[in-house]
Structure 1
């Protein structure tokens, strides 16, 4: 028979408590956003970000004037039912153009909504008295995938959203999501780029990827805990039961 060394119960509890605190400190570093060990305040200017129009974007353009009848030829509508008429959208073609009534082909790619509005206003001045142009981007949406609570595609009505707002719409990251290596996939000017973003770094606020463009995809990778849990699969229950028995035995032996 081998002798079991007696461990004082209080010492066992203290060791367990210290170990738990150490694990907690380590995990908080992996979970908290915007970590700053110095704790100083940072003042930054807010960027007036505006997305640029890309091939395949869908625009709604409405033209009005102090002379409503004169503005009619510059608007296109679906067939009118009763007193309701819905404006037909413009789809930006492969050349980055739309075919605007009365003005012909008009290049809009790489322009912001404001720039398109200003350019159309200038082009309409010879035809209309005080033209009013309203341009809207219909297909502004972002997708959030991976370790978030509600993955999916989200429409953006205001045409302005930052990465934190997009993640918030998806219900925030789960505790299994890697916060230091979030991937942002963006398609612009015929090219697809993939960028790694660290959500624990306060420099995120000054990053060119802080504000999102239409059709951006955010992917949150699973951490090792999630991967290991998936690998265990159906054996998880057996392992938990075994650990419970071992802890119970340890409690009896040190009593």
Structure 2
């Protein structure tokens, strides 16, 4: 019995130590890690954040041409075969970019948007309209604003963005936050670039990401949070080492009372 009591005492002490073994740096956000900064911002010369997003096949665009003459405006805003359900939405038309990065624009024909961001894409359409119009205004917006959240998010799947770019913390919030088993220091961001998909590893606990190129999430980005080993061992969210320590403390107390 003495041996058994000693064994439980040792287990009790180890359990108490384990309850405090997870360091703060594993889960506290926006820590000062200036000495270990590994983010760079090559996009700083750009005036607009949205300049960093490049159009992709299957993106939908809102495009509207407005001229002093309503009849001419209506002519250039005719419903095209690439419009979504061929329906109007607040005087905008939806145009889908095909696999060759073209949109089929009324009367003008196909306009290629390969390698374009929102700003340069708008300039491409303006250039295509020059032979036909002198006075006009053009609205050019991205319509398909979504990103994908996978792994240890409480709300996995395709998430809708209310604007063309959001911060990574806004994205995490839209996905319901990260579960207790998610590795916040190793969030993976997969981003489509003109040269192909690029994967970045982000430390959400490092406040240096605020000044990095990873701070904003763009349409078609994918976020993945890997699970901790505790989940692989079958431990659920309701599991608490405190329960074990409480049970051991109760057992030892009863043993003492019985003696």
What is the alpha-carbon distance in structure 2 between the residues aligned to residue 47 and residue 26 of structure 1? Answer: 42
* More moved, 24-33 vs 179-188: 24-33
Name whichever structure is richer in strand by fraction: 2
Correspondence for 2:172 = 167
Correspondence for 2:72 = 70
- Deviation for aligned residue 1:85: 4.2
- Unaligned residue ranges in structure 1 (runs of 5+): 7-11
* RMSD, aligned α-carbons: 3.7
Q: How does 1:91-130 map to 2 (within 5 A)?
A: 91-130=96-135
2:182 aligned counterpart, secondary structure: coil
Mapped contact 2:104–2:110 kept (Cα < 8 A): yes
Correspondence for 1:49 = 49
- Deviation by residue 1:86-118 (Cα, 9 ceiling, x = unmatched): 555222122212122232221213212222223
Higher relative contact order (CA 8 A, sep 6+): 2
Mapped contact 1:67–1:129 kept (Cα < 8 A): no
What is the alpha-carbon distance in structure 1 between the residues aligned to residue 189 and residue 88 of structure 2? Answer: 39
Correspondence for 2:61 = 59
Correspondence for 1:209 = 214
- Deviation for aligned residue 1:217: 1.0
Correspondence for 1:191 = 196
- Unaligned residue ranges in structure 2 (runs of 5+): 36-40, 82-86
2:176 aligned counterpart, secondary structure: coil
Aligned length: 232
- Cα 1:242–1:196, aligned 2, differ >3 Å: closer, same or farther? closer
What is the alpha-carbon distance in structure 2 between the residues aligned to residue 2 and residue 176 of structure 1? Answer: 38
Mapped contact 2:68–2:135 kept (Cα < 8 A): yes
- TM-score of the two chains, using structure 2 as the length reference: 0.73
